[in-house]
Amino acid sequence: MAADQEAIVTALKTVKDPELNVNVVDLGLVYSIQTRDDEVDVEMTLTSPACPVGPEMLRNAVAAVEKVEGVSKANVRLVMSPPWSPERMSDEARDELGYF
């Protein structure tokens, strides 16, 4: 049984950037989600290539996705292209961070 895309996004919304206290989906850090049977491939980035909490966020993303029903393995890959920019943030994240 393949995992539900919406459930995967919901799971990723539980993963927060601990420095900004905003989830990785609303920050625009998740670039793609692909499902293959019971495996999920996620490509995500960081707000900065030198982000000190990057490894923690990637581990948290794997753990969150692997909790989704129907997922046996999550492959979370860090990508730096295209580079992240504040324009990728959701309106909710902009409001929360006071970014206009």
Burial of residue 87 (CB within 10 Å: 0-12, 13-18, 19+) is: exposed
Distance (Å, whole) CA 72 – CA 60: 15
**At 80, is the secondary structure helix, strand, or coil?**
coil
Q: What's the pTM?
A: 0.92
Do 25 and 11 form a contact (C-beta atoms < 8 A)? no
Q: Which residues pair with 33 in a beta bridge?
A: 42
Per residue in 23-64, pLDDT (tens digit) is 999 999 999 999 998 999 999 999 998 889 999 999 999 999
Distances in Å between the Cα of 17 and the Cα atoms of 27, 34, 45, 72, 94 are: 9, 22, 11, 24, 14
According to the model, what pLDDT value does residue 1 have?
A: 56
**At 35, is the secondary structure helix, strand, or coil?**
strand
